[in-house]
Amino acid sequence: MTWILFILFSVVATGGAVGVVTGRNPVASLLFMVATLASVAGIYVLLEAHFLAAVQVIVYAGAIMVLFLFVIMLLNLGHDYQADVKYGLWFLLAFVVAGLTAGALTMGFSDAEATGFGDVAAGEAIDAAVLEKGAVGAIADPLFTDYVVAFELTGLLLLVAVVAAVALAKPRNRRGTDAG
Protein backbone atom coordinates (compact mmCIF):
# COMPACT_ATOMS: atom_id res chain seq x y z
CA MET A 1 0.00 0.00 0.00
CA THR A 2 2.76 2.39 1.00
CA TRP A 3 4.61 1.57 -2.19
CA ILE A 4 1.58 2.28 -4.34
CA LEU A 5 1.09 5.62 -2.64
CA PHE A 6 4.78 6.43 -2.89
CA ILE A 7 4.81 5.73 -6.61
CA LEU A 8 1.64 7.74 -7.07
CA PHE A 9 3.03 10.74 -5.20
CA SER A 10 6.41 10.56 -6.91
CA VAL A 11 4.85 10.39 -10.36
CA VAL A 12 2.62 13.38 -9.60
CA ALA A 13 5.54 15.31 -8.09
CA THR A 14 7.85 14.64 -11.04
CA GLY A 15 5.13 15.17 -13.62
CA GLY A 16 4.13 18.40 -11.94
CA ALA A 17 7.74 19.59 -11.95
CA VAL A 18 7.97 18.90 -15.68
CA GLY A 19 4.68 20.72 -16.11
CA VAL A 20 6.05 23.78 -14.30
CA VAL A 21 8.85 24.25 -16.80
CA THR A 22 6.96 23.23 -19.92
CA GLY A 23 3.67 24.99 -19.21
CA ARG A 24 3.04 27.96 -21.49
CA ASN A 25 0.82 29.87 -19.12
CA PRO A 26 2.19 31.10 -15.79
CA VAL A 27 -1.04 30.28 -13.99
CA ALA A 28 -0.92 26.70 -15.28
CA SER A 29 2.73 26.43 -14.24
CA LEU A 30 1.77 27.63 -10.80
CA LEU A 31 -0.97 25.05 -10.44
CA PHE A 32 1.45 22.34 -11.52
CA MET A 33 3.78 23.56 -8.80
CA VAL A 34 1.02 23.32 -6.21
CA ALA A 35 0.49 19.71 -7.30
CA THR A 36 4.21 19.02 -6.93
CA LEU A 37 4.43 20.55 -3.48
CA ALA A 38 1.31 18.74 -2.30
CA SER A 39 2.71 15.41 -3.52
CA VAL A 40 5.96 16.08 -1.69
CA ALA A 41 3.83 16.65 1.40
CA GLY A 42 2.27 13.26 0.76
CA ILE A 43 5.74 11.68 0.64
CA TYR A 44 6.50 13.34 3.98
CA VAL A 45 3.39 11.67 5.42
CA LEU A 46 4.60 8.30 4.13
CA LEU A 47 7.89 8.96 5.93
CA GLU A 48 5.83 9.65 9.08
CA ALA A 49 6.98 13.27 9.17
CA HIS A 50 3.49 14.56 9.80
CA PHE A 51 4.51 17.97 11.07
CA LEU A 52 6.67 18.63 8.01
CA ALA A 53 3.82 17.52 5.77
CA ALA A 54 1.41 19.91 7.48
CA VAL A 55 3.89 22.79 7.24
CA GLN A 56 4.56 21.97 3.61
CA VAL A 57 0.87 22.18 2.78
CA ILE A 58 0.13 25.25 4.89
CA VAL A 59 3.18 27.32 4.04
CA TYR A 60 4.23 26.29 0.54
CA ALA A 61 1.24 24.79 -1.21
CA GLY A 62 -1.05 27.16 0.66
CA ALA A 63 0.32 30.57 1.53
CA ILE A 64 3.25 31.09 -0.81
CA MET A 65 1.63 29.65 -3.92
CA VAL A 66 -1.57 31.61 -3.36
CA LEU A 67 0.55 34.73 -2.99
CA PHE A 68 2.25 33.95 -6.31
CA LEU A 69 -1.14 33.44 -7.90
CA PHE A 70 -2.39 36.78 -6.56
CA VAL A 71 0.66 38.60 -7.88
CA ILE A 72 0.35 37.03 -11.32
CA MET A 73 -3.37 37.75 -11.52
CA LEU A 74 -3.18 41.26 -10.07
CA LEU A 75 -0.28 42.35 -12.26
CA ASN A 76 -2.00 40.73 -15.24
CA LEU A 77 1.04 38.64 -16.06
CA GLY A 78 -0.95 35.61 -17.13
CA HIS A 79 0.01 35.80 -20.77
CA ASP A 80 1.23 32.86 -22.74
CA TYR A 81 4.93 32.35 -22.57
CA GLN A 82 7.03 32.76 -25.67
CA ALA A 83 9.73 30.14 -25.87
CA ASP A 84 13.14 31.77 -25.93
CA VAL A 85 14.99 28.55 -26.64
CA LYS A 86 14.00 28.06 -30.24
CA TYR A 87 16.78 26.00 -31.70
CA GLY A 88 16.60 22.25 -31.98
CA LEU A 89 20.28 21.95 -31.24
CA TRP A 90 19.87 23.58 -27.84
CA PHE A 91 16.98 21.28 -27.01
CA LEU A 92 19.12 18.33 -27.99
CA LEU A 93 21.98 19.62 -25.85
CA ALA A 94 19.63 20.16 -22.92
CA PHE A 95 18.37 16.60 -23.21
CA VAL A 96 21.90 15.22 -23.41
CA VAL A 97 22.99 17.15 -20.32
CA ALA A 98 19.86 16.19 -18.40
CA GLY A 99 20.33 12.56 -19.41
CA LEU A 100 23.97 12.55 -18.36
CA THR A 101 23.06 14.11 -15.00
CA ALA A 102 20.29 11.60 -14.46
CA GLY A 103 22.63 8.76 -15.37
CA ALA A 104 25.34 9.97 -13.00
CA LEU A 105 22.85 10.34 -10.17
CA THR A 106 21.33 6.92 -10.80
CA MET A 107 24.76 5.37 -10.70
CA GLY A 108 25.50 7.40 -7.60
CA PHE A 109 22.43 6.20 -5.76
CA SER A 110 22.92 2.56 -6.70
CA ASP A 111 26.54 2.85 -5.59
CA ALA A 112 25.39 4.51 -2.38
CA GLU A 113 22.96 1.67 -1.65
CA ALA A 114 25.77 -0.82 -2.10
CA THR A 115 27.84 1.00 0.55
CA GLY A 116 25.03 1.05 3.10
CA PHE A 117 23.34 4.31 2.27
CA GLY A 118 20.39 5.30 4.42
CA ASP A 119 21.39 3.16 7.38
CA VAL A 120 18.78 2.66 10.06
CA ALA A 121 20.67 4.37 12.89
CA ALA A 122 19.64 7.87 11.84
CA GLY A 123 16.03 6.78 11.41
CA GLU A 124 15.98 5.27 14.89
CA ALA A 125 17.42 8.45 16.37
CA ILE A 126 14.62 10.43 14.75
CA ASP A 127 12.00 7.98 16.04
CA ALA A 128 13.39 8.29 19.55
CA ALA A 129 13.37 12.09 19.38
CA VAL A 130 9.78 12.11 18.11
CA LEU A 131 8.70 9.78 20.91
CA GLU A 132 10.39 11.93 23.52
CA LYS A 133 9.54 15.44 22.36
CA GLY A 134 6.68 14.99 19.93
CA ALA A 135 6.74 15.74 16.22
CA VAL A 136 7.02 19.50 16.69
CA GLY A 137 9.56 19.31 19.49
CA ALA A 138 11.82 17.02 17.49
CA ILE A 139 12.17 19.83 14.96
CA ALA A 140 11.92 22.85 17.23
CA ASP A 141 14.52 21.68 19.73
CA PRO A 142 17.47 21.42 17.33
CA LEU A 143 16.23 24.46 15.43
CA PHE A 144 16.82 26.67 18.47
CA THR A 145 19.90 24.90 19.82
CA ASP A 146 22.24 23.31 17.28
CA TYR A 147 20.92 25.23 14.32
CA VAL A 148 20.25 28.56 16.02
CA VAL A 149 22.93 30.36 14.02
CA ALA A 150 21.50 29.14 10.72
CA PHE A 151 18.01 30.06 11.92
CA GLU A 152 18.97 33.63 12.85
CA LEU A 153 20.99 33.96 9.66
CA THR A 154 17.91 33.03 7.66
CA GLY A 155 16.06 35.85 9.38
CA LEU A 156 18.78 38.30 8.38
CA LEU A 157 18.69 36.93 4.84
CA LEU A 158 14.96 37.62 4.58
CA LEU A 159 15.47 41.16 5.92
CA VAL A 160 18.12 41.84 3.29
CA ALA A 161 15.92 40.40 0.55
CA VAL A 162 13.07 42.71 1.57
CA VAL A 163 15.36 45.75 1.77
CA ALA A 164 16.87 44.93 -1.63
CA ALA A 165 13.47 44.44 -3.24
CA VAL A 166 12.06 47.66 -1.80
CA ALA A 167 15.16 49.67 -2.70
CA LEU A 168 14.91 48.54 -6.32
CA ALA A 169 11.16 48.71 -6.72
CA LYS A 170 9.93 51.68 -4.73
CA PRO A 171 8.58 54.58 -6.78
CA ARG A 172 10.81 57.59 -7.25
CA ASN A 173 10.04 60.73 -5.33
CA ARG A 174 8.81 64.02 -6.73
CA ARG A 175 12.14 65.28 -7.94
CA GLY A 176 12.76 62.10 -9.81
CA THR A 177 15.75 61.24 -7.67
CA ASP A 178 16.31 58.17 -5.60
CA ALA A 179 17.74 59.95 -2.57
CA GLY A 180 15.66 60.51 0.54
Inter-residue contact 35 to 12 (CB < 8 Å): yes
Q: How far is the CB of 1 from another protein (least distance, A)?
A: 27
Q: Does 147 bind another protein (CB under 8 A)?
A: yes
Q: Does 68 bind another protein (CB under 8 A)?
A: no
Q: Does 163 bind another protein (CB under 8 A)?
A: yes
Inter-residue contact 43 to 13 (CB < 8 Å): yes
Selection from 87, 137, 102, 79 nearest residue 14 by Cα: 102
Question: Which part of the chain contacts another protein (CB under 8 A), choosing from 4-12, 35-43, 74-82, 112-120?
Answer: 112-120
Nearer to another protein, 5 or 125 (CB): 125
Give dist(CA 57, CA 39) in Å, integer.
Answer: 9
Q: Does 63 bind another protein (CB under 8 A)?
A: no
From the CB of residue 36, how many other CB atoms can be counted at a distance below 10 Å? 22
Sign of the CA dihedral 19, 20, 26, 30?
positive
| Binding residue for another protein, selected from 14, 22, 25, 110, defined by CB under 8 A | 110
Q: Does 120 bind another protein (CB under 8 A)?
A: no
Nearer to another protein, 8 or 161 (CB): 161
SS3 99: helix
Q: How far is the CB of 4 from another protein (least distance, A)?
A: 25
Nearer to another protein, 75 or 149 (CB): 149
Q: How many residues does the chain have?
A: 180
Q: Does 107 bind another protein (CB under 8 A)?
A: yes
Q: Does 154 bind another protein (CB under 8 A)?
A: yes
In the chain, what's the furthest Cα-to-Cα distance?
68
Give dist(CA 65, CA 74) in Å, integer.
Answer: 14
| Binding residue for another protein, selected from 93, 105, 131, 136, defined by CB under 8 A | 105
| Binding residue for another protein, selected from 109, 123, 124, 136, defined by CB under 8 A | 109
